[in-house]
Amino acid sequence: MSRDEQKKLAAEKALEYVEDGMVVGVGTGSTVAFFIDGLARMKNRIEGAVSSSEQSTRQLESHGIPVFDLNAVGPLKLYVDGADECDPYNRLIKGGGAALTREKIIAQASDRFICIIDAAKQVEHLGEFPVPVEVIPMARSLVARAIAKMDGHPIWRENVVTDNGNWILDVHHWRIADPVGLEAKLNQIPGVVTCGLFAARGADEVIIGGKVRPIRRP
């Protein structure tokens, strides 16, 4: 099965978690794009969505799905999003599409985070995919130097400005032994808005293709 077919199957499976009257938290990326197309088929049963990016907002609105400000709707029951890497404990690297900050906010605001991926995203240890870090522009070199001291190799994703008006550093060559600890450490560097490690609050369930994958417990 192709990666796109797997993404579509995962998205279809995630639609089973959507309940009548819900405001659904919606992530960003090519896998989520399949989910949004599916959501459009049931748009009359839901109240609307909270979106993690301008890109997803455009797609939702093109289907006539109302998009709400998170502040206006409060905690969400369900958030559906993709990922760039996923370890056996459902900890993730996200932000390949530069939407990590809003994604992390919505994940935190949601009771249940369903992550939809294709099999190639599964890894034993996070870090093969570069860890995105969203930074306030004036702090780019300060943050890069701090990351270099932590044995990371930050590369500025030039020509990319996030929906929040910030920049992205992609940190290569990290073999991440302690994702929760590293996430906390990165988030404490002045100038970091957030990092793409979703470890303290990982996914509640991961769907690969059409199946929910069992989580490994520490």
Binding positions for ligand 5RP, rule: CB under 6 A: 27-31, 81-84, 94-100, 103
Cα 33 from Cα 59, distance rounded (Å): 8
H helices, E strands: number in the chain: 7, 13
- For ligand 5RP, give the closer residue by CB, 132 or 152: 132
Q: Rounded to the nearest whole angstrom, what is the least distance from the CB of residue 63 to ligand 5RP in the complex? A: 18
- For ligand 5RP, give the closer residue by CB, 29 or 154: 29
Q: Rounded to the nearest whole angstrom, what is the least distance from the CB of residue 146 to ligand 5RP in the complex? A: 23
- Give the dihedral sign, CA 138/82/216/17: positive
- For ligand 5RP, give the closer residue by CB, 103 or 183: 103
CA nearest to 13, candidates 211, 215, 160: 211
Binding residues for substrate: 28-31, 81-84, 94-97, 121
Cα 9 from Cα 12, distance rounded (Å): 5
Does 85 participate in catalysis according to the annotation? no
| Residue 62 structure tokens | 């093109």
Q: Rounded to the nearest whole angstrom, what is the least distance from the CB of residue 133 to ligand 5RP in the complex? A: 12
- The catalytically annotated residue of 12, 16, 103, 205 is 103
- For ligand 5RP, give the closer residue by CB, 11 or 189: 11
Report angle CA 141, 144, 150 to the nearest 5 degrees. Answer: 150
Q: Rounded to the nearest whole angstrom, what is the least distance from the CB of residue 24 to ligand 5RP in the complex? A: 15
- Which residues, in sequence order, are CB contacts of 3 under 8 Å at separation 6+? 118, 120
Neighbours of 80 (CB within 10 A): 30
Residues labelled catalytic: 103
